[in-house]
């Protein structure tokens, strides 16, 4: 969800070696499959795990899942299982509504916040599946965070850049998976909604919309007798939304506002200390385009310097290129605001994210809410970062089965880590015993 970072061939080799070495040398302990003494309350009977090396290939996008032993996970025994368990309990706020997840969520609630108990819980009730795509075990791990913008709830000489809620003329029309071509008729069903029906009053040419295999809805506006694609970032920055959308607040810095859109949520701090939490509400559905790659292609910055920090610094020195560069990413996010900050930003699962224990994934290949063991590299020191996270969020730039965006938390320190993070990584999805991976 951020500009790419280029490494020298030596640096890249070292990163790969560190991850591979961890995978080969991480642990030698014996899994405690049957140890339940640390779990309080009546225990459910664990589902029957599938045998190691069992392979499930759903036949979509070259994705494959293979059952492994816990001792195959690098540094598994060194995890802070208690923290991972607390993050999983947060996932259960939504997962417990699904029958397949109810038993493990009930057992999680009975399990104490203690490493030994939490480790026994995961090993007894979950099966680790290593994820691969197109025959490749390695994928990409990036990082994201919740930024804090300086600004105000009213427009001032400093706070001049609007943060928009869902526009009044923004229309969402559900699509079926097979609807990608042709001209359809639209009937409006509400201020911001419509349906495809032969008796609709408006037409929409599907070829004009930025559709892909993941698209679930048309997002546009009415122009004459047609539903047309919604405005791009460049059009909105040029004033296309003037008078057409609620303004939740104003940011002091347009570049910080741009990265709020990239991250998908954040907070706005006013001069009197008021904090306004800004959460993702919707987007215009144009694909995310990396402005870092654009800047490198134009010769503005070497690709190796197109981190978030590098882009911010360059645009501060070259304000005349601001509209040009930011306009290269047509994707635009609309927000909702709450006056009282929650415990953390809310992810796509619908639960608050936990610093260091939540991640964004492609939910077409990884179950939202599921535990996810990730082996990658720490951006601060280059050492191995191997952790049991929870898949609690998604992102428009997170595409593929072995693709993870690691949530670093809130503020400048988290932003510095997130901005530097783009490393190879390996992914294992933990599912309740007996459950097969789901591919949408």
What CATH number did the domain enclosing 220 receive?
2.40.50.270
Answer whether residue 10 shows pLDDT above 70.
no
Name the average pLDDT for the chain.
88
55 and 94: one domain? yes
Lowest mean pLDDT segment, chosen from 6-10, 15-19, 121-125, 346-350: 6-10
| 439 domain residue, yes or no | no
235 within domain boundaries:
no
- The whole-number pLDDT of residue 46 equals 65
* Residue that terminates a domain, selected from 338, 366, 393: 338
Whether residues 259 and 156 fall in one domain: yes
Q: Are residue 251 and residue 356 in the same domain, yes or no?
A: no
Tell me which of 190-199, 241-250, 396-405 is least confident.
Answer: 396-405
C-alpha–C-alpha distance, residues 360 and 425, integer Å: 14
pLDDT the model gives residue 343: 66
**Predicted pLDDT at 160:** 97
User: pLDDT band at 44, cuts 50/70/90?
Assistant: low
Q: Are residues 357 and 426 in the same domain?
A: yes
Domain stops at, among 338, 373, 402? 338
pLDDT tops 80 at residue 422: yes
Q: What is the dihedral of CA 389, 391, 395, 398, to 10 degrees?
A: 70
The per-residue pLDDT for 341 is: 57
Spell 120-132 as b/e; 16+ CB within 10 A means b: bbbbbbbbbbbbb
Question: How much of the chain, in percent, has pLDDT values that exceed 70?
Answer: 88
User: What residue numbers bound the domain in which 188 lies?
Assistant: 171-229
Distances in Å between the alpha carbon of 118 and those of 58, 352, 395?
31, 21, 29
Q: What's the number of domains the chain is made of?
A: 3
Residue-wise pLDDT for 148-170, tens only, equals 999 999 999 999 999 999 999 99
Same-domain status, 19 and 88: yes
Q: Report pLDDT digits (tens) over 326-367.
A: 999 999 999 999 876 556 788 899 999 999 999 999 999 999
Is 419 a member of any domain? yes
Task: Give the Å distances, CA to CA, from 436 to 66, 116, 228, 275, 401.
Answer: 10, 27, 40, 43, 15
Q: Do 155 and 297 lie in a common domain?
A: yes
- Compare 248 and 307 and report the one with higher pLDDT: 248
Domain boundary among 338, 367, 394: 338
Indicate whether 38 pLDDT > 80: no
pTM here is 0.73
| Residue 181, domain member (yes or no) | yes
Ramachandran angles phi, psi of 222, nearest 5°: -85, 130
Structure confidence at residue 232 as a pLDDT band (50, 70, 90):
very high
Q: Which candidate, 402, 356, 375, 388, places its Cα nearest to that of 74?
A: 375
- Token pair, residue 86, equals 């607390």
Quick check: is 28 in a domain? yes
Residues 156, 70 share a domain: no
* Pair 350, 323 in one domain: no
Indicate if the pLDDT at residue 432 is higher than 60.
Answer: yes
Q: Are residues 132 and 47 in the same domain?
A: yes
For residues 14 and 297, which has the higher predicted lDDT (pLDDT)? Answer: 297
153 and 300 housed in the same domain: yes
pLDDT exceeds cutoff 50 at 239: yes
CATH of the domain at 124: 2.40.40.10
Angle at Cα 381 formed by Cα 317 and Cα 132, nearest 5°?
100
Task: Tell me: pLDDT of 33 over 50.
Answer: no
Rounded Cα gap, residues 162 and 169, in angstroms: 17
pLDDT: which is higher, 357 or 6: 357
pLDDT at 94 over 90: yes
**237 assigned to some structural domain:** no
Domain assignment of residue 239, yes or no: no
> Residues 151, 157, 160, CA angle at the centre, nearest 5°?
55
Q: Are 52 and 116 in a shared domain?
A: yes
Q: b/e per residue, 396-408, with b = 16+ CB within 10 A?
A: bbbbbbbbbbbbb
Question: CB under 8 Å to 297, separation ≥6 — which residues?
Answer: none
Residue 118 scores a pLDDT above 60: yes
In angstroms, rounded to a whole number, what is the distance separating the alpha carbons of residues 347 and 361?
11
| Separation of CA 65 from chain center | 21
Q: Is residue 197 part of a domain?
A: yes
Q: Indicate whether 40 pLDDT > 70.
A: no
Same domain, yes or no: 131 and 270? no
User: Which CATH number characterizes residue 334's domain?
Assistant: 2.40.240.50
Q: Are 216 and 175 in contact (CB under 8 A)?
A: yes
**Distances from the Cα of 226 to the Cα of 168, 186, 221, 222, 433, angstroms:** 17, 9, 8, 6, 50
């Amino acid at each position: 969800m951020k500009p790419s970072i280029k490494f020298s061939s030596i640096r890249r080799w070292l990163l790969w070696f560190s991850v591979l070495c961890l995978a080969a040398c991480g642990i030698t302990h014996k899994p405690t499959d049957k140890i339940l003494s640390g779990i309080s309350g009546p225990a459910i009977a664990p589902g029957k795990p599938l045998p190691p090396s069992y392979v499930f290939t759903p036949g979509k996008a070259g994705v494959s899942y293979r059952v492994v032993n816990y001792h195959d996970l690098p540094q598994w025994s060194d995890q802070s299982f208690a923290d991972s368990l607390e993050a999983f309990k947060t996932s259960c706020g939504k997962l417990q509504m699904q029958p397949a997840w109810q038993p493990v969520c009930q057992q999680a609630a009975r399990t104490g916040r203690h490493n030994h108990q939490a480790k026994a819980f995961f090993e007894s009730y979950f099966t680790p599946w290593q994820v691969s795509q197109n025959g490749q075990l390695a994928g990409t791990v990036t990082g994201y965070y919740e930024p804090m913008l300086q600004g105000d709830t009213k427009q001032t000489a400093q706070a001049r850049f609007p943060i928009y809620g869902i526009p009044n003329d923004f229309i969402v029309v559900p699509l079926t998976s097979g609807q990608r071509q042709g001209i359809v008729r639209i009937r409006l069903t509400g201020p911001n909604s419509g349906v495809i029906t032969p008796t609709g009053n408006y037409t929409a040419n599907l070829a004009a919309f930025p559709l892909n295999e993941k698209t679930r809805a048309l997002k546009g506006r009415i122009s004459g007798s047609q539903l047309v694609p919604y405005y791009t970032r460049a059009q909105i920055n040029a004033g296309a939304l003037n008078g057409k959308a609620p303004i939740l607040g104003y940011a002091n810095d347009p570049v910080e506002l741009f990265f709020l859109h990239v991250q998908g949520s954040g907070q706005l701090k006013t001069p009197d200390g008021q904090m306004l939490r800004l959460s993702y509400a919707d987007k215009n559905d144009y694909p995310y385009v990396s402005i870092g790659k654009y800047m490198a292609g134009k010769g503005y910055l070497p690709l190796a310097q197109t981190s978030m920090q590098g882009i911010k610094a360059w645009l501060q020195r070259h304000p005349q290129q601001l509209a040009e560069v930011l306009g290269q990413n047509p994707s635009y996010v609309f927000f909702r605001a709450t006056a009282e900050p929650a415990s953390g930003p809310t992810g796509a699962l619908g639960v608050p994210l936990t610093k260091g224990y939540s991640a964004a994934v492609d939910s077409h290949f990884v179950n939202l809410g599921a535990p996810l063991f990730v082996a990658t590299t720490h951006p601060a020191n280059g050492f191995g970062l191997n952790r049991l996270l929870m898949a609690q969020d998604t992102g428009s730039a997170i595409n593929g089965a072995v693709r993870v965006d690691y949530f670093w938390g809130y503020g400048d320190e988290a932003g510095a880590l997130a901005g530097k993070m783009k490393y190879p990584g390996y992914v294992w999805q933990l599912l309740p015993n007996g459950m097969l991976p789901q591919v949408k």
